[in-house]
Structure 1
């Protein structure tokens, strides 16, 4: 179910800024009228954003993942397939769309596929950068969750980050 109303203390994602916390709802003057905004603070930074209460989805704000989402996320990280174009420009376009969307399940599918490529043959620099960016975005989303599923996801992401391509044994 899509959440449309947020409360102070709710963890939210605001692409491209990442995970934030709704700290309050405040009124701000816009074109001579008072408009209600969510004030979103980003942990470990001095950054904050103001998102219209009337249309947080237009700004891309969504509820962050919860412990309830971890089994599906972990499954996507382990077993997903994504048919990425082999031609670099088309692949780069598709990968960038996924990264910009910030959708954690799409990021998990992308991470799974790039991980497979990395293990099988290694990744070129730009694909490796995209792989690491997807891992970082997922780590950020899962951070702060204190359940076993979140820990399993974090362990898999750390493992994927440190994996190296398989080497072919010489006969």
Structure 2
């Protein structure tokens, strides 16, 4: 999943902003010196980010998931593999959930989504946990969107179902 060199047209993730597309590289002056940057455009917005070519990993930029990654992602979403053990105390849980959302790690997001889904079905979620749950789903949907693989469709169906579920 880790990639250091990106090409024009590559789908990338720049946490916490989501999916973008590398539209090229450019030179930009910083402190009187010219540095090379990837120009990342975010679809359906006018937002743009510039990420240093020399160290994209320091910004958290990574290649977006591909169809090959979908089986593992689906495994992390399933209820049987969740071992996140979120703290029951709200402040500690909020801190951990925020770390996961900001990290943008798709497998941690999937595990978080599965765990919060289980909580939602069992007893419902408090407002801030529900907001985190929906944010995690949206970030995962961005990664899966556009992939035309059966497993990607299974992931999308899982996320759609989780979004609509209510406590029993």
User: How does the TM-score come out when normalised to structure 1?
Assistant: 0.94
**Number of equivalences:** 166
Cα distance in structure 1, aligned partners of 2:92 and 2:42? 33
Which consecutive residues of structure 1, in runs of 5 or more, have no partner in the other structure?
167-171
1:108-153 deviations in whole A, cap 9, x for unaligned?
0000001111111111111111111110110011111111111110
Task: State the distance in 1 between where 2:2 and 2:128 align.
Answer: 34
**Structure 2 gap ranges (5+):** none
Question: What is the alpha-carbon distance in structure 2 between the residues aligned to residue 5 and residue 12 of structure 1?
Answer: 11
Distance in 1, Cα, partners of 2:47 & 2:146: 19
Q: Is the 8 A contact 1:80 1:113 kept in 2?
A: no
CA distance in 2, matches of 1:114, 1:14: 23
Task: Determine whether 1:4 maps to 2:4.
Answer: yes
- Name the SS for the 2:65 alignment partner: coil
Q: Partners of 1:2 and 1:117 in 2: how far apart?
A: 32
Q: How many Å separate the matches in 2 of 1:87 and 1:2?
A: 34
**1:1-171 correspondence runs (5 A):** 2-78=2-78, 79-81=80-82, 82-166=84-168
Q: Equivalents in 1 of 2:127, 2:45: separation in Å?
A: 29
- The 2-side partners of 1:91 and 1:157 are apart by 22
Q: CA RMSD in A?
A: 0.9
Tell whether the 8 Å contact from 1:66 to 1:145 is kept in structure 2 after alignment: yes
Contact 1:104/1:138 (8 A) holds in 2? yes
TM-score by length of 2: 0.96
Cα distance in 1 for partners of 2:158, 2:49 equals 31
Question: Would you say the 8 A contact 1:65–1:142 is kept in 2?
Answer: yes
Aligned to 1:169: none
